[in-house]
Copies of this chain bind each other. A is one copy, B any other.
Amino acid sequence: MSEKIPYKTYLDEKEIPTAWYNVRADMKNKPAPLLNPGTHQPMTAEELSVVFCDELVKQELDNDTAFFPIPQEIQDFYKMYRPSPLVRAYFLEKKLGTPAKIYYKFEGNNTSGSHKLNSAIAQAYYAKKQGLKGVTTETGAGQWGTALSMACSYFDLDCKVYMVKVSYEQKPFRREVMRTYGASVTPSPSTTTNIGRAILEKHPGTTGSLGCAISEAVEVAVGTEGYRYVLGSVLNQVLLHQSVIGLETKAALDKLGEKADIIIGCAGGGSNLGGLISPFMGEKLRGEADYRIIAVEPASCPSLTRGKYAYDFCDTGMVCPLAKMYTLGSDFIPAPNHAGGLRYHGMSSILSQLYDDGLMEARSVKQTDVFEAAEMFARVEGILPAPESSHAIRAAIDEALKCKETGEEKTIVFGLTGTGYFDLVAYQKFHDGEMDDYIPTDEELAKYAANLPKVD
């Protein structure tokens, strides 16, 4: 093979974006504001700053500023692991025999193993700048917790991570990476918080959930002098920071003279998808270009494809503000057989609004189909993908196979958010034929949807 377009395109370090792009500035229908769970009034900056760092509150509430300059310290840190490569998937194309051109933006070449570091370093920076002692957070699979630990270590901040108990026990290695970076990791629910103790009393054998770990982390942040809470997905600020993925992707495509037809990302809370698509969606919103944009979610946790667009709690303990989003209900927990991450019950307000406005598509995929795609990808592209990322791989393969049928030479771009080195228990289940495809019934979903809070 001696293609004109290289396998991997790296921007120069000087071409790493120096400002994040805020897609809200170009949205006609802005995402709905966060509401105070007691009064159902929009959360003020003052109210939010009890939980979040001041500068991050500003970013959260700003629907108008299109570009936020990236502080020099964060730009410096980005150089540690960015720019990330835009890879032309020649090997995958050949394997599929498709006329489509497939590209993926690979965010897994850093020790946190995923794109989460892009926002973690920003949030740690603003916490440090505010003179805080430390931050608290929750983590499920552990990618966000690992990323935040790395970021806090860099700025010499204390980092308290509440890790969903089942992951804490099943993924001791992620925990050890966090310890390498000096973080403290507590299995959730724990006896260190009121909400944790209450949940343990009610459900003594519980293995925990993301919503519960969020509640614990928020409680500790609010109750500890010099601490704030940080979150790795869902929020507007997170999508803002993650826009670095999309900006780099677009810059690399422009450099190659390529134009994407279809952009695909996996979607849990929306951090990767929102970041990846931002500049493309911006062009679409401004009428400068058109793209098919596809969110891919697990069939076992189908918030966009089967959820309701409504205000809901972000956490189990109901201590967080209400967010308007496509949601399955804050009590919804995906079946334990679901190994592939993306387990959050709701979806970023920005993405929910864009989806509701018909500006992007969504589809759900079954987990055995996802792992089949993951294994094929690993064999031909040489990267062992994270289960989360593999949802996007599945959809990219399906689109490329459609092109094979129609003969269309479309350009498909997808986000490969991370590596699966800490997910090999899931791969093992797949190899041993012990993975199934449980999908919630309509009755189940209706039960959870009935518990949504009433907001006028």
**Does A379 sit within 8 A of B, measured CB to CB?**
yes
Q: Interface readout for A372-384 with B: 1 if CB under 8 Å, 0 if not?
A: 0001001111111
Asked whether A176 lies within 8 Å of B431 as measured between CB atoms, the reply is: yes
- Chain B residues with CB below 8 A from A292, complex form: none
Cβ-defined partner of A375 (8 Å) among B8, B173, B180:
B180
For window 382-398 of chain A, which residues contact chain B by CB distance below 8 Å? 382-384
Looking at A76-84, A299-307, A356-364, the stretch in contact with chain B turns out to be A76-84
**Does A91 sit within 8 A of B, measured CB to CB?**
yes
Q: How large is the interface on A (under 10, 10 to 19, 20 to 34, 35 or more residues)?
A: 35 or more
Asked whether A421 lies within 8 Å of B424 as measured between CB atoms, the reply is: no
Query: Which DSSP category, helix, strand, loop or mixed, fits chain A's interface?
Result: helix
A382 to B111, CA, bound (A): 6
Cβ-defined partner of A384 (8 Å) among B76, B111, B419, B428:
B111
Knowing A109-B109, A150-B382, A382-B150, say if A7 contacts B79 (CB, 8 Å): yes
Cβ-defined partner of A382 (8 Å) among B8, B80, B375:
B80
**Does A448 sit within 8 A of B, measured CB to CB?**
no
Q: Interface readout for A1-17 with B: 1 if CB under 8 Å, 0 if not?
A: 10000111010110000
Knowing A91-B80, A153-B379, A181-B378, say if A424 contacts B6 (CB, 8 Å): no
Q: Which residues of A contact B (CB under 8 A)?
A: 1, 6-8, 10, 12-13, 76, 79-81, 91, 109-111, 113, 150, 153-154, 172-173, 176-177, 179-182, 375, 378-384, 419, 421-422, 424, 427-428, 431
Question: What would 14 more interface pairs be, CB under 8 Å, given A7-B79, A181-B378?
Answer: A7-B80, A80-B382, A111-B378, A111-B383, A111-B384, A150-B382, A154-B380, A172-B424, A176-B427, A176-B431, A179-B428, A180-B375, A181-B379, A421-B421
